[in-house]
Homo-oligomer: A and B are copies of this chain.
């Protein structure tokens, strides 16, 4: 890992072209040759970057300025960095990172709802998770109190895409006589947050919406919240 603080000007050419005027920035060069250009603001996304695999070639312009050329041989992307003044340049051996452990994403939400389908609708019971169809798996296939099939689509953030997805599933499922024997398959759109447009579209299509409280669900599994 090499860290360079420098006054520089940068040009990128790849899927788009982009230009950064001369200014002081931080250049991070990783062991795999990838390069990140950061300014003192914005969020985690660099102003500009090159993804691996790529190689950095150090050269000079006619007038003696240092110029880096970073190229990705697979995509033909190039990043040209003109260095007007190097303020700091240091290298460090970081070793291999053990990696990030995550908890609390959509998969966990699905697991929790699979364990507690009754929180979505009174009397709902799980038939199976990841119920397979020709166009992909339905998150939860359930049966309601009177024995009708219910397809549940789970999102962390519920927007129109999720409603469209569930609609496609329902169209397909409602062609299956095994599921529709007792009546049409209903849909429930479950998310931690449901956007107004998504709610309107869902309602228009007869799909129920369920806003899920992740912490409350987790509480159901937490021994300290149990009654016995």
Contact = CB atoms under 8 A, between A and B. Distances in A.
Interface in A83-131: 87-88, 90, 92-105
Interface string A8-50: 0000000111111101111010111010101111111111110
B26 A92 contact: yes
Given A1-B40, A31-B41, A36-B44, A18 B164 contact: no
Interface in A34-77: 34, 36, 38-49, 51-52
B47 A43 contact: no
Given A98-B23, A104-B16, A104-B17, A38 B28 contact: yes
A160 to B, nearest CB: 8
A161 interface: yes
Nearest to A36: B44
A97 B47 contact: yes
A5 interface: yes
Given A16-B104, A47-B97, A103-B16, A32 B21 contact: no
Q: How large is the interface on A (under 10, 10 to 19, 20 to 34, 35 or more residues)?
A: 35 or more
A184 interface: no
A15 B161 CA distance: 21
A45 B43 CA distance: 10
B3 A97 contact: no
A60 to B, nearest CB: 24
B104 A15 contact: yes
Nearest to A201: B168
B44 A49 contact: yes
B3 A26 contact: yes
A103 B34 contact: no
Nearest to A87: B92
A97 B95 CA distance: 32
A102 B18 contact: yes
B47 A94 contact: no
Contact of A30 (B40, B52, B156): B40
A188 B104 CA distance: 40
A102 B18 CA distance: 4
7 pairs of A and B residues whose beta carbons are closest in the complex: A16-B104, A39-B97, A40-B94, A44-B49, A21-B98, A31-B40, A1-B40
